Amino acid sequence: MARASEVAPAGAPAKDSSTGYNIRTFLGRFGALIFLIALVVLFSVLKPNSFPTAQNLFNIARQASISGLVAVGMTFVILTGGIDLSVGSLLALSGIIAAAVYKGGTGLLDTAAGEASGSGLFAAIVVACAVGVIGGFLQGTIVTRLKIPPFIATLGGMSAFRGLTLLIGNGGPISAFDDTFKVLGQGRVGDLVPIPVIVFLIVAAIAHIILRYTQYGRYVYAVGGNVEAARLSGLNTGLIILSVYMIVGLTAGFGGFMLASRLNSAEAIAGVGLELTVIAAVVIGGTSLSGGEGGVIGTVIGSLLVSVLTAGLTQLNVTSYVQQILIGLVIVFAVFFDRFTKARR
């Protein structure tokens, strides 16, 4: 005999208990992509003569490329349940050291572009990446060895790296580079596709393969899902956590060079507020702040979404102050939506 709770009222339609779950699962996976498409359509309708042009869309992608590059590295960190607030300062530090190496100077403003004492483009890129990796290693060591919470450790790093950047650059920029230095940041393929966009997509593709199809990637998800269970399973959780901070340091370092190349100037104040944009892209893309869930594809979508939102609002003459408010609200909503879908599951 059926229990009372299992008997539907007369004339009432049968309730499909899986419908709500399926809808929530679908939105949880594709919500960011749907929102991105909706924004593109909305701004295209509001600004039909300027927004949907190929040139403008590629410019938006170029705007997203530097922060997106760093966001790819941040995805690894957040997947383990960590956070890195120092990426903007580390980006600036890497960029200004790379600029000094390229020019053969010590960071003084009177260094001339293309000096014979410079070490060349390849050396500048390697140094920028090395500075980022070392910065990530130091912070990862503080987190894993000294057991300092990532928020505190990287908050200290944010201040320390910024101060070191100002010291090396004497508080000012290093600028006026030759065309060789500027090619990666300002060059285009076929007079349309910016090279930074291609670099961003290549790095994202490599990161996606690592996370989804390698044993290391499975370890990262395992640590983020339950660090204690991962440790008891025999994983060296400390080494894995250390490695993700080195990865985000690598992307921040390379991003520092790319930004200097694009602006034709290594600014001591470069990357201020970048951590907000980067974390927003990762979270909006569906990576959970509690770790263990998300991926690089979502981060790419999140980076483009933030860039489209900013560019669209700019074309609508919305002030930067209002833009910051709206982006902040989007971040809060993305975190709430992530919590909501998880709770319902």
Burial of 70 (0-12, 13-18, 19+ CB in 10 A): buried
- 8 A C-beta contact, residue 182 and residue 196: no
Instruction: Assess whether pLDDT exceeds 80 at residue 27.
Output: no
Predicted confidence (pLDDT) per residue in 216-234, tens digit:
999 999 999 999 999 999 9
Whether residue 129 lies inside any domain: the answer is: yes
pLDDT of residue 274: 93
pLDDT of residue 192: 84
Q: Which residues pair with 194 in a beta bridge?
A: 188
Whether residue 19 lies inside any domain: the answer is: no
pLDDT of residue 344: 57
Whether residue 13 lies inside any domain: the answer is: no
Whether residue 6 lies inside any domain: the answer is: no
CA–CA dist 102, 119 (Å, integer): 5
**Residue closest to 99 by CA, chosen among 114, 86, 84:** 114
88 pLDDT band (50/70/90 cuts)? very high
**In sequence order, which residues have a C-beta less than 8 Å from that of residue 226 and are 6 or more positions away?**
292
**Residue closest to 134 by CA, chosen among 289, 3, 276, 249:** 249
Stronger pLDDT, 101 or 18, i.e. the higher one: 101
Predicted confidence (pLDDT) per residue in 230-286, tens digit:
999 999 999 999 999 999 999 999 999 999 999 999 998 999 989 989 999 999 898
pLDDT of residue 260: 95
pLDDT of residue 286: 87
DSSP single-letter state for residue 315: H
CA–CA dist 139, 136 (Å, integer): 5
Whether residue 30 lies inside any domain: the answer is: no
- 8 A C-beta contact, residue 100 and residue 164: no
Amino acid at 130: A
Predicted confidence (pLDDT) per residue in 313-344, tens digit:
999 998 888 888 888 888 788 777 767 766 65
Instruction: Assess whether pLDDT exceeds 50 at residue 181.
Output: yes
Average pLDDT, the chain: 87
pLDDT of residue 11: 43
Q: Which uninterrupted H or E stretch holds 17? A: helix 17-46
**In sequence order, which residues have a C-beta less than 8 Å from that of residue 143 and are 6 or more positions away?**
82, 149, 150, 153, 241, 242, 245
Instruction: Assess whether pLDDT exceeds 50 at residue 9.
Output: no
Measuring CA to CA, how many Å separate 112 from each of 107, 173, 260, 289, 344?
A: 11, 13, 16, 45, 61
Instruction: Assess whether pLDDT exceeds 90 at residue 202.
Output: yes
Amino acid at 121: L
pLDDT of residue 345: 55
- 8 A C-beta contact, residue 327 and residue 273: no
Query: In sequence order, what E strands does the chain have?
Result: 174-175, 188-189, 193-194, 265-266
Whether residue 69 lies inside any domain: the answer is: yes
User: What mean pLDDT is predicted for residues 162-168?
Assistant: 93
Whether residue 249 lies inside any domain: the answer is: yes
Range of the domain at 185: 50-344
Stronger pLDDT, 124 or 21, i.e. the higher one: 124
Please state the domain count of the chain.
1
Instruction: Assess whether pLDDT exceeds 80 at residue 163.
Output: yes
CATH number, domain with residue 316: 1.10.3470
Predicted confidence (pLDDT) per residue in 189-201, tens digit:
887 899 999 999 9
- 8 A C-beta contact, residue 181 and residue 261: yes
Whether residue 10 lies inside any domain: the answer is: no
CA–CA dist 160, 86 (Å, integer): 9
pLDDT of residue 343: 62
Report DSSP letters for 73-136, one per residue: HHHHHHHTT---S-HHHHHHHHHHHHHHHHHTSSS-TTPPTT-TT---HHHHHHHHHHHHHHHH
Instruction: Assess whether pLDDT exceeds 50 at residue 8.
Output: no
Stronger pLDDT, 297 or 321, i.e. the higher one: 297
pLDDT of residue 50: 87
Sort strands 193-194 and 265-266 into parallel, antiparallel or unpaired: unpaired
Predicted confidence (pLDDT) per residue in 102-152, tens digit:
988 654 444 444 444 567 899 999 999 999 999 999 999 999 999 999 999
